[in-house]
Structure 1
Amino acid sequence: MLFKVEMTVKIPHDMPEEIAADIKAREKAYAQKLQAQGQWLHLWRVAGSYANVSIFDVQSNEELQEIISQLPLFPYMEISVAPLCRHPSSIHEDDR
């Protein structure tokens, strides 16, 4: 199942920089692991903001919830999720 996930990060301004840097480093490692495993297909930065648009390929809503809730930045995110399906006019034969 494919999902479009939009994430906007809102780290508190009073969070110490060393704590924020640690969270960001753990977030990057986790995101790259999921990409290598093929669950996080695409990751785009939204220009001009601390936000991204991502495409996930998972087996269920529950799996997506588990993945997202394990993101180190999850407590500081506003997240929007939309399920995706193939468009009948698409020229591609797969979802990648």
Structure 2
Amino acid sequence: MQFLVTMTTQVPEGVTDSEVDEVRGREAAHSRELAAAGQLLRLWRPPLQPGEWRTFGLFEAKDAQQLEEVLSSMPLRIWRHDDVMPLEPHPNDPSSPTPLDAGATEYFTIFNLTIPEGTPPELVDEKAAGEATSTRRLAAEGKLVRLWKRADGPTLGLWQADSPEEMTTILKSLPLADWLETDTIPLTVHPSDPAHTAA
């Protein structure tokens, strides 16, 4: 089972820079161990306000209890609050991993689907089939990386695009676009991301 974890760190007053550096060093080393064990899959940095220290992490665990054991083992947990989002397989998730493009920016999208009242079922089926075809094409083009269903209803997507304008164009091209409320989050590379660090 996969989980998206929002990890927010707040260092207490009085902690020295050298203490912070020491804990961060141990965190980076332990992240490599978790990645080697297949428990930490990805790390990203979302847009941050001044003074914020926040990371998105994609983890693999058999259940919430095992995930908590993993999160508790991370050195930064002493100063950190974790918000856990369980993820479920999505039928349109690419069947094989989409290679990362080093020159592109990754984005999370959160899709909330609202079907207009009175829409004929045939039209719903037609748009859903078109959406499946479109996502397969976008995965083949290297734009769609992953899709998950969230337990609370929305769909979570991971994409890569060369610019915000391209990302907007991609989202507008989706057959369900007119029925989707979409939140788009640009991501930046985390120095301990397993996809960008050597084993």
- Taking structure 1 as the reference length, the TM-score comes to 0.87
- In structure 2, how many angstroms separate the alpha carbons of the residues matched to 1:67 and 1:90? 26
How much has 1:47 moved relative to structure 2? 3.1
- In structure 1, how many angstroms separate the alpha carbons of the residues matched to 2:82 and 2:68? 11
Moved over 4 A (4+): none
Q: Deviations over 1:10-48 (max 9, x none)?
A: 112320111111111001101111112211011111233
- Taking structure 2 as the reference length, the TM-score comes to 0.44
CA RMSD of aligned residues (A): 1.8
Q: Which aligned pairs between 1:57-96 and structure 2 lie closer than 5 A? A: 57-92=60-95
Which of 53, 56, 59 is the aligned partner of 2:56? 53
Structure 2 unaligned residues grouped into runs of 5+: 98-145, 147-199
CA 1:18–1:91: 2 relative to 1, 3 Å: closer
Instruction: Point out the structure with max Rg over C-alpha.
Output: 2
Percent of matched pairs sharing the same residue: 29
Q: How many residues align?
A: 95
How much has 1:58 moved relative to structure 2? 1.1
Structure 1 unaligned residues grouped into runs of 5+: none
More relative contact order, 1 or 2 (CA 8 Å, 6+ apart): 1
